[in-house]
Structure formats: C-alpha cells, structure tokens
Structure 1
C-alpha cells in the first residue's frame, strides 16, 4: 500500500510523462570554435633573399586564421605571401608565408608562419579575388564571403612583385557588434618598379558563428621608425583571425609582426601588429590591428 508521499510522487511522474516534460541538468553553452589553438612553423635562418614556412593544423583541425613574424630583418624584409590553402569547396588546413628582402641584407633572418586552428567548422571554405595586374603604384581587391557565410580569417598574396611591393591594408569589415564578411587587401610599391603586378585577397569563411565581431585598436600616430599595437578580443571571446592597416605611410611602412598569441594548447585572444619604416619617413603614421573574435 502506497504512502501519501509515494502517491504524490507517482502522480507527479505521470504528469511529466503526459506533458512531455523532461528534467535534465543545465549544461554550458557550446563554444563557437571548439578546439581553438595556435600552431607555429619557422623557416631556416640564413641570408638568402627569400624565406618560406608552412604552418599546418594538426590532426583533423581546420584553419580559421593566419599570422606571421619576420625575425632579424627589421624593415628590410617584406611578406609577399600569406596564403591559406583550401578553395571554394574545400576547408583550409594550412598557411604558407613567403618573404623577400626589400633590399640586399647581409644578416641572417627567418620567417614564422602562424596557423589558428579549430575542430572542423560547418561550411568552412577559402575565397579569393585578384586585382588587375599592371604597373600602377597601388593595387587593391576585396574578397567577400558567399551567401550568409561570415569571415573568420584573412590572407593575401602579391603576384609578380618579388619584394618590390608591401601590403598596407589587410582590413576585415564588420565592427564591435557586427560580424565581418569580407577582407580588403591593398598594396603599394615599396620602390618604383616597371613590373606588372597584382594582389590577391583571401577570405576564410564559415557558416555564421555565435558572437562573431571585429575589434580594433589604433596605435599612436608618430614619426618613430617602429610602432606596435595589440588588438584583443572582448571578455568571453577568442581570436579566430586578424587583420591590420597602416595609416599615412603609403608604401614606406612594413608590417614585420602579425602575431596572434596562444599556443599548441591555448586559444589565442589577441593579435600584435608591429611595423617598421622601410625608408626614413618624416611624417607621422600609425598602425591599426584588427581582431576577429567569436564566443569562447
């Protein structure tokens, strides 16, 4: 014979079954980009005119963003390629960074490629567009994510310039409350050249991600030879990719460092953009760093 308490519990269970209610423990929200880490690969250090390194995502991880660092060359080397692999129907998994000397340099130097990697993301692809190829001083092109996809990371490639052009802008759109969907790559000749050349912009795109925004920080405008600025993600967000913009230097500034933090077991949350003058510049100029961030 049931007690009064047992009878009430039995009625409660029957009521839950009848209404379809299920009592389950609360669980935390899923990360927008699970398994996010930063991978690095560094080229040989020598006095060769060209250096290249490829950072590859481990296991089944995919590439959401890119970065690089020139080591030991301080304004005499320029990154010609920041090229994610993949395609319009293929998720990228690695990034290749290639750099030339802008002028003959006797010292040893190297280049580091940074890959921001995550567990597979739905709809991840790489989109590219190429500017016109001619001998104009400035070239620009914008790669836009298709349909409703959003921008997680950026890249570029200079074609035919071989150390005679520098990327002044690698600028994602979006804002502090708006998901980025495109990236513009703009490049100037570092020294006058008769060569025909062009610039390619690469957009790494995925299906919409929770909390995706673009944060930015602009450094002080001065005539110093070197400046550095860090853009960080808002609290509770992680860095999927980044960008930069040089302001007021038009071909005489070189972004030497485009370095996400993090590591092989740590999600990046900031990016450091450091730039040198290639030739002495008397006017004031500045550097802007852009961080593309999603919910952690």
Structure 2
C-alpha cells in the first residue's frame, strides 16, 4: 500500500514505471476536522444478459452520495465498458452504465453499482465540468475542489459514441481535485467525444487519507489490485486508473468490496495488447 502527495495526472511513457510518493498531509487552511457519521455502503446488482444497461445504487432517505463505483460481471468483460460512472444530480445515489464495444458479444454480463452514502458532511458540494468535443485518441479533464476542501469521491463519463468505442480509462482522486480520462479503443472512433467529470468535495473529515496501490506493470492480460484503509477508517471514495493501456485495456472494476477497501480491475481487449500496463486503485478513507 502506498500514500501519495497531491499532484496532477501524469501520462505513462512506454517502458517507464510511474513512481509513488509519501503520506499526504492535511491541507493548509482546511476547516477543523470532524468525523463523517452514518456512513453506509449500498450495492445494487443488475440482471445478467447481453444488453446495454444501467444500474443505480440508491442512498437511504436523507443521505447524500459521497462516492461510488461499479464493476462488470460476466464471461467476457474485455468487450464491455463502463462508460458512465456518476453520482445522480440530486445526490441520492450512484449510477453505472455498461455497454458492449462495436463487435459485441453473445455472452451475458451484469453491472453492479456501489454508493457510499452519509448525511452531507460539513462543506459538502459537488463540482462538475465537461470537456470540449474532441477527436483525439486520449483526453482528460481535471476538476478542482474549492479552496480549502478535499475530494471525497469522483464520477466520470465518456460521451459521444453509441457503443463502447471510447473507454472510461481513469477516475483519479487527488487530495484537492479529481481527474477523469478517456481513450478511443484500439480500432479508433471517427466522431467527436467528450469527458464529463464530477468531484464530491467537503471540509477535510477526521482521519482523512488518500491511499493507492498498483498491480504489476507487465503484459499479463488481466490484473486486479486492492488498497485497504488504515485501521479505524472506512472507505468514503473510490477511484481507479489504467496506466499504459493505450486504449486497449478496459476498466472492469472500481468498487468497494467491503467497507474498508477498494479494488480496481482491468483487462486487455479481445485482440490483446503487447505492451506493458498496470491498474491502480485509489481509496479515500476517513474515521
């Protein structure tokens, strides 16, 4: 497990390994820390078939979604992408959409959505943004939290393709911002597309920590990594990132399998990928 200081998103250059740094420190000027009471983890599992589908995990009445994630279940996740992983606009849940790529599959698969919910903590607000339309191979959008607040959770979507030809590649959480990245798949995409990103921000809660861990960096076709909160802390936010995939690796899971850990998983597309890559899991934890 690794702790990392706040920094912008960095691209992986072929053959290079991304280094990690040290334990974060509290933000200067942050409001006094307080616990986030009543945290609840809600899962919703969708049907297993070969149709494009969305699944939403709803918070209990009166709670607000602080973070969330999802995963694809099924025999051939390499042909299925999670294109939308977003909190609902009214804050009542977290929604995940899965779609097959342009070649499709006859196999069946499912979508699971996870919402991390609690009464809105001090200073809570959601900041959103959408990138300009583009036809580049890869693009990303960073959304900063207001000054003095920290990021608890991230949501993102890639918009423009009628199927999963543009991959939601990164849902990165930094201390004071989030970054969402997308990439055209290995066959490319002729049209324009956009990134939508949302940051769930609040005053820094008690015990706040941002943790990450990486899978091996190699050419194995499927990888998974889990990062676990320090003792006495629970997961408040979920993030994941593919490093080095060049649009040929799909994120198949960015979810909290329990209340104290985050798992990120990814798989090469059906044609495989000869380069080295890795998947990274982010956990925002607090007391």
After superposition, residues 113-262 of structure 1 pair within 5 angstroms as: 113-161=113-161, 162-173=163-174, 180-190=175-185, 191-262=187-258
TM-score calculated relative to the size of structure 1: 0.81
> C-alpha distance in 2, partners of 1:261/1:106?
28
Aligned partner of 2:18 in structure 1 is none
Instruction: Give the counterpart of 2:268 among 252, 255, 277.
Output: 277
After superposition, residues 60-79 of structure 1 pair within 5 angstroms as: 60-72=62-74, 73-79=76-82
Unaligned ranges ≥5, structure 1: 1-29, 174-179, 263-267
- 1 or 2, which has the higher helix percentage? 1
**Paired positions, count:** 250
TM-score calculated relative to the size of structure 2: 0.83
> C-alpha distance in 2, partners of 1:261/1:43?
16
> C-alpha distance in 2, partners of 1:97/1:280?
25
Q: CA deviation at 1:31?
A: 6.8
Say whether the 8 Å CA contact 2:77–2:109 is kept in structure 1. no
Say whether the 8 Å CA contact 1:38–1:261 is kept in structure 2. no
> C-alpha distance in 2, partners of 1:289/1:149?
22
Q: CA deviation at 1:74?
A: 2.0
The answer as to 2:276 corresponding to 1:288 is no
Aligned partner of 1:101 in structure 2 is 100
Say whether the 8 Å CA contact 1:168–1:250 is kept in structure 2. no
Instruction: Give the counterpart of 2:48 among 13, 29, 45.
Output: 45
> C-alpha distance in 1, partners of 2:143/2:131?
10
Report the aligned-residue RMSD.
1.6
> C-alpha distance in 2, partners of 1:143/1:201?
7
Q: CA deviation at 1:54?
A: 0.8
Q: CA deviation at 1:172?
A: 1.3
Q: CA deviation at 1:256?
A: 0.5
Aligned partner of 1:112 in structure 2 is 112
Q: CA deviation at 1:188?
A: 0.6
| Residues 266-294 of structure 1: per-residue CA shift (max 9 Å, x gap) | xx110010110013111221111111111
Q: CA deviation at 1:248?
A: 1.3
Larger-gyration structure (1/2): 1
Say whether the 8 Å CA contact 1:39–1:55 is kept in structure 2. yes
Q: CA deviation at 1:77?
A: 0.3
Unaligned ranges ≥5, structure 2: 1-32
Say whether the 8 Å CA contact 2:141–2:181 is kept in structure 1. yes
Q: Secondary structure at the match of 1:261?
A: strand
Say whether the 8 Å CA contact 2:226–2:264 is kept in structure 1. yes
Say whether the 8 Å CA contact 2:34–2:205 is kept in structure 1. no
> C-alpha distance in 1, partners of 2:189/2:77?
22
